[in-house]
């Protein structure tokens, strides 16, 4: 599809981003807005493509330190599942299975630790060819010689800009170059949450997915079927399933609530790293900071780890 680039200076940065800018980076003005369907805008996940013009993208040095630390400590084996999978179900997460086991409590919180939510396995093809392409992508963009997602530090929240799960699956499944960046492998997300709260897992957690430029090396991608932040935030079943899944994931991988971010917040993550200069300020419009403040408040309220 054609892409319209519009010079549209928008004031961003400042207070909206300041809270989580651990490195003191500050996005400049939004210089280009390229309307693209989220899932068709492959290579970067979803939401409309946004390129933020920055003055001195200084974060990469410190981010490099993060990556070095992670790589030095990482094993080739994905982190083991947290031992709390059989704990009781939080009251606000109706999709969780009931085990009958007494609840384990989060230290100091008085809240039960999260169980693994009900997850429908809907795997997309991710064979040797796609894995090899993922290695090449990781080498180009991150300098990492692996397709494996090792000890993820970030969870990125997206919406799909598609009407249902099946169309989302059909977008991710074929391994074709994406329409936005024209790279292989095709984009994907680890999870897609349907409007009725059904959680689908498309890719194992030990494999990188292309859903967020700059963060795919360390981020789990969670897509929500829908067309806007507000639409997803206002759907109770979809939202409860999302909070349950993300709480379970972040507790399993010891990810702070602050590192559960919206796609639109990607540039302010301390883990953002991108070796391709043209992509260092690329992000999408889905799940902006204001809406993620709502999401994170709900996530905190759902219980500690």
| Nearest by Cα to 38 from 274, 223, 273 | 223
Of 13, 45, 262, 270, the one binding Zn ion by CB under 5 A: 45
Strand partners, 159: 224
| Nearest by Cα to 221 from 20, 37, 45, 71 | 45
Region near Zn ion per CB under 5 A, out of 12-20, 39-47, 63-71, 115-123: 39-47
At 283, list the tokens.
């992000």
Q: Can residue 47 be called a binding residue for Zn ion (CB under 5 A)? A: yes
CB of 301 to Zn ion, least distance (A): 24
- The distance in angstroms from the start CA to the end CA of the chain is 44
CB of 157 to Zn ion, least distance (A): 8
Q: Can residue 226 be called a binding residue for Zn ion (CB under 5 A)? A: no
CA distance 19 to 212: 21
Binding residues for Zn ion, how many (CB under 5 A)? 7
Angle at alpha carbon of residue 198, lines to 194 and 204, rounded to 5°: 95
| Nearest by Cα to 144 from 235, 70, 242 | 70
In the range 258-277, which residues lie near Zn ion by CB under 5 A? Answer: 263
CB of 255 to Zn ion, least distance (A): 18
Region near Zn ion per CB under 5 A, out of 129-137, 176-184, 194-202, 257-265: 257-265
CB of 180 to Zn ion, least distance (A): 11
CA distance 65 to 10: 31
Q: Can residue 286 be called a binding residue for Zn ion (CB under 5 A)? A: yes
CB of 286 to Zn ion, least distance (A): 4
Identity of the residue, 146 or 187, whose beta carbon is nearer to Zn ion in the bound complex: 187
Report which DSSP code applies to 14: T
CA distance 14 to 90: 36
Of 30, 36, 42, 46, the one binding Zn ion by CB under 5 A: 46
CA distance 246 to 292: 13
Identity of the residue, 199 or 222, whose beta carbon is nearer to Zn ion in the bound complex: 222
In the range 123-162, which residues lie near Zn ion by CB under 5 A? Answer: 158
Q: Can residue 41 be called a binding residue for Zn ion (CB under 5 A)? A: no
Query: Footprint of Zn ion on this chain (CB under 5 A)?
Result: 45-47, 158, 263, 284, 286
């Amino acid at each position: 599809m054609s892409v319209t680039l519009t010079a549209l200076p928008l004031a961003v940065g400042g207070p909206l981003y300041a809270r989580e800018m651990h490195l003191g980076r500050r996005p400049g003005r939004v210089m280009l807005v390229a309307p693209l369907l989220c899932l068709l805008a492959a290579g970067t996940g979803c939401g409309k493509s946004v390129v933020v013009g920055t003055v001195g993208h200084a974060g990469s040095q410190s981010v490099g330190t993060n990556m070095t630390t992670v790589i030095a400590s990482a094993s080739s084996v994905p982190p083991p599942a947290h031992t709390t999978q059989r704990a009781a179900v939080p009251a606000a997460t109706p999709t969780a299975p009931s085990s009958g086991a007494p609840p384990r409590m989060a230290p100091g919180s008085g809240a039960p630790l999260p169980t693994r939510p009900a997850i429908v396995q809907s795997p997309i093809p991710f064979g040797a060819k796609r894995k090899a392409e993922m290695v090449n992508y990781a080498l180009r963009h991150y300098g990492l010689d692996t397709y494996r997602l090792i000890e993820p530090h970030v969870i990125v929240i997206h919406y799909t800009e598609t009407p249902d799960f099946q169309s989302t699956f059909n977008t991710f499944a074929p391994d074709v170059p994406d329409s936005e960046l024209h790279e292989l492998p095709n984009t994907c997300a680890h999870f897609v949450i349907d409007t009725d709260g059904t959680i689908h897992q498309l890719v194992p957690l030990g494999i990188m997915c292309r859903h967020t430029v700059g963060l795919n090396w360390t981020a789990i991608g969670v897509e929500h079927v829908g067309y806007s932040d507000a639409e997803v935030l206002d759907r109770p079943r979809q939202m409860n399933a999302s909070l349950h899944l993300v709480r379970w994931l972040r507790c399993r991988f010891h990810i702070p609530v602050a590192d559960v971010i919206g796609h639109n917040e990607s540039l302010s993550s301390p883990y953002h790293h991108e070796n391709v200069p043209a992509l260092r300020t690329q992000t999408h419009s889905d799940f902006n900071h204001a809406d993620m403040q709502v999401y994170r408040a709900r996530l905190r309220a759902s219980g500690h780890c």
